Amino acid sequence: MFGAIKRFFLSALRNLWKMIKKVISGALEKFLADFLDIALDIVKGLVNSDLSSEEKRKKAFSLIEQKVVAKGKEYHDSWINILIELSCAVVKQEF
């Protein structure tokens, strides 16, 4: 009896986790689509600055965060970091 209850709850938890992942994944995809061009412009603008790499990252984060907040979007710091990483990868390929 206990085994059947355990299997039921484990199955329910797996299904719940799948639903949560879909929601988070969808929200992240939308966020990236909405802000990737903005992040790319910001990163490109900082490439030739006299700032150190860490200072460029902090400045890019701050500028992107300002744009996100101005548009009233919810976000996670890690999402902005993903935008910065993607933008840096694009910029490195262009140069």
Q: pLDDT, tens digit, for every residue of 50-89?
A: 999 999 999 999 999 999 999 999 888 999 999 999 999 9
Residue 19 belongs to a domain:
no
Answer yes or no: is 17 within a domain: no
Q: Which domain holds residue 37?
A: 28-94
Say what percent of the chain tops pLDDT 90: 55
Q: Residue 92 is inside which H or E element, if any?
A: helix 77-94
Secondary element (H or E) of residue 68: helix 53-70
In-domain check, residue 36: yes
In a domain, 69, yes or no: yes
Give the number of other Cβ atoms within 10 Å of residue 43's Cβ: 24
CB 28 within 8 A of CB 79: yes
Q: Is residue 23 part of a domain?
A: no
Work out the number of other CB atoms within 10 angstroms of the CB of residue 60. 22
Asked if the structure places residue 82 within a domain, the reply is yes
Domain-located, residue 13: no
| Number of compact structural domains in the chain | 1
Predicted structure pTM score? 0.74
Long-range own/partner contacts, residues 8-13 (CB < 8 A, 24 or more apart): none
Does 43 map to a domain?
yes
